[in-house]
Amino acid sequence: MSNQQVTVTARLKVKPGLEEGFKQEFQPVIALTLTEEGCINYDLHQSVEDPSLFLLHENWVSQEILAQHLEQPYIKALSEKSGQFLVEPPEVRLWQQIANNSSLVIIMTSRVLLYGATGYAGKLIAASAKNNGLELILAGRNQSLLAAVANELSLDFRVFGLDDPQAIARSLEDIIAVINCSGPFSKTSKPLVDACLQTKTHYLDIAGEVPEFQALLARDTEAKSAGIMLLPGVGFGVVPTDCVAAYLKQKLAIATRLILIYETVGGVSQGTANTVLPTLHHIGVVREAGKLISSRPASKRRKIDFGYGPVTAVTNPWRADIITAFQTTGIPNIEVYTVFPNPVRFLMESSQYLGWLFNSSLFQSALASLIKTLPTGPTAAERAKGQVRVIGIAEDETGQQVSAKLLGPEAYDFTALAAIAVIKRVIKGEVKIGFQTPASVYGADFVLEIPGVIGFN
């Protein structure tokens, strides 16, 4: 049996009233487990007849891989906490498959290319996709680094830089979609989109800031003429918030004001730090009466409680929801708030007085050196402890409000799982040509398909 696929079921009886807490505790474990090599599926089910009864169903390529999974720190941590939630010890059974429908066992050898496969997010998406039965073609400009990642995952790869338009076009001739994971997207998206328009290849990325989305929105007509979809933000920025916005619009069709607030709990990658920290003083935008109005960082504060105690959020004028939420809902007044670490929030609030400091080459050089000392990204154990939290509030002219809350796995795991879900849809032909948002293509409920997500209430 050790070299054969093994199935595990676990019957979990939760103490009455603790069902939601149990699901919140379990969700990051699901997200991390799906990134493990050899995990075929890892699904948690809740009884329709008895909400306190759960069934965990998992499949692994071998007994040995399952044993490795049980040694993961997040599995051990969950096991130690199980007594807080469970009425009785889990009833666990191992199963050996004796018959199957081979049509259900599919490895998608897609024609989807991931550019930026050697970066933290790119590697995480590539590995998660492979573990979910989806083989991507990896790409980047550094052959030695790219070959190492591709060999580790047993995937094909292509080497090309973004300064050679002909090389890009040749590499995309047989590709149905590109997912760009290489930042800064302000520099990488244009050459890739230029090639996608030429080769009629759909374009996806994991960007999350206003300027990059504005640039792609401006190419909507070109994309429609070429018959391709431009869909930025298929990760944490902006899938959860865009879907919350769409949900609120459904609940209050005449909404005229939308507030989106989010918090990420967990570590940060060098790439994210490099995108955010050097530009904390940059002016951004809010949306008023349908138009983009200049706004300085952290111009407003707001106390919010995601269910874990009150925290302070400040306006984030760079967040791409200011573009996408308007495209998705048509709501004319939109603000986005983010819970930042206290030192970052202080710099944002002081930026109008510290512009001279941020514009100093000495300061920027010191900041770049500091960022290089950071870890490449959070470890698996750190991601297991992380979470994303979103609250949306929509209001009409009479003051009537509706709100929604969404919880999900740690931001980088969320990005990998959301990107994979989008890629699978694209492979099936579920696309809309032109500039799109996640919710405009796949609807508000799309986010609920992502493992570990709890929403909207």
Bridging pattern class, strands 39-46 and 53-60? antiparallel
Q: What is the pLDDT of residue 40?
A: 83
Q: What is the pLDDT of residue 92?
A: 85
Bridging pattern class, strands 157-159 and 134-140? parallel
Q: What is the pLDDT of residue 1?
A: 38
pLDDT at 3 over 60: no
Alpha-carbon distance of 22 to 15, in angstroms, equals 9
Q: Rg for the chain (alpha carbons), in Å? A: 22
pLDDT at 212 over 70: yes
Phi, psi of 256 (to 5 degrees): -120, -5
Q: Is 239-410 a domain of CATH 3.30.360.10?
A: yes
What's the whole-number mean pLDDT along residues 23-47?
87
Contact present, 410 and 265 (Cβ < 8 Å): yes
Phi, psi of 44 (to 5 degrees): -110, 125
For the ranges 157-171, 211-225, 266-280, 396-410, the lowest mean pLDDT is seen at 266-280
Angle between helices 361-372 and 351-358 (to 10 degrees): 90
pLDDT at 107 over 80: no
Alpha-carbon distance of 145 to 27, in angstroms, equals 32
Per-residue pLDDT reduced to its tens digit, 376-385: 888 999 999 9
Question: For residue 372, what are the contacts with CB-CB under 8 A and spacing of at least 6?
Answer: 270
Alpha-carbon distance of 359 to 364, in angstroms, equals 7
Q: Which CATH class is domain 108-236+413-450?
A: alpha beta
104 confidence band (pLDDT: 50, 70, 90): very low
Name the E strands within 116-256. 134-140, 157-159, 177-180, 202-205, 229-231
Question: For residue 99, what are the contacts with CB-CB under 8 A and spacing of at least 6?
Answer: none
Contact present, 222 and 410 (Cβ < 8 Å): no
Burial of 341 (0-12, 13-18, 19+ CB in 10 A): exposed
Provide, rounded to the nearest whole percent, the portion of the chain with pLDDT above 70.
Answer: 96
Q: What is the pLDDT of residue 357?
A: 80
Q: Which of 19-23, 59-63, 286-290 has the highest mean pLDDT?
A: 286-290
209 confidence band (pLDDT: 50, 70, 90): very high
pLDDT at 108 over 80: no
pLDDT at 35 over 60: yes
- Higher local confidence (pLDDT), 131 or 335: 335
Cβ neighbours around 194 below 10 Å, total: 16
Q: What is the pLDDT of residue 425?
A: 93
What's the whole-number mean pLDDT along residues 92-99?
73
pLDDT at 367 over 90: no
What's the whole-number mean pLDDT along residues 191-200?
97
Q: What is the pLDDT of residue 363?
A: 80
Q: Could you say which of 3.40.50.2000, 3.90.550.10, 3.30.460.20, 3.30.70.100 is the CATH number of the domain covering 6-96?
A: 3.30.70.100
- Higher local confidence (pLDDT), 28 or 371: 28
Q: What is the pLDDT of residue 31?
A: 85
Per-residue pLDDT reduced to its tens digit, 45-56: 998 888 999 999
Name the E strands within 306-363. 310-315, 333-339
Contact present, 118 and 149 (Cβ < 8 Å): yes
Q: What is the pLDDT of residue 113?
A: 97
What's the whole-number mean pLDDT along residues 194-221?
96
Q: Of how many residues is the chain composed?
A: 457
What's the whole-number mean pLDDT along residues 107-121?
83
pLDDT at 101 over 70: no
CA 334 to each of CA 76, 208, 222, 285, 407: distance values in angstroms, whole numbers, following the listed order: 43, 16, 27, 10, 21
Average pLDDT, the chain: 90
Q: Which of 51-65, 133-147, 360-374 has the highest mean pLDDT?
A: 133-147
Q: What is the pLDDT of residue 364?
A: 84
Q: What is the pLDDT of residue 211?
A: 94
Provide, rounded to the nearest whole percent, the portion of the chain with pLDDT above 90.
Answer: 66
Alpha-carbon distance of 190 to 231, in angstroms, equals 13
pLDDT at 109 over 50: no
Residues 309-325: b if buried by 16+ CB within 10 A, e if exposed:
eeeebbbbbbbbbbbbb
129 confidence band (pLDDT: 50, 70, 90): very high
Q: What is the pLDDT of residue 256?
A: 98
Which amino acid type is present at position 346?
A: F
Contact present, 431 and 202 (Cβ < 8 Å): yes
Structural domain boundaries in the chain: 6-96, 108-236+413-450, 239-410
Contact present, 139 and 117 (Cβ < 8 Å): yes
Q: What is the pLDDT of residue 100?
A: 54
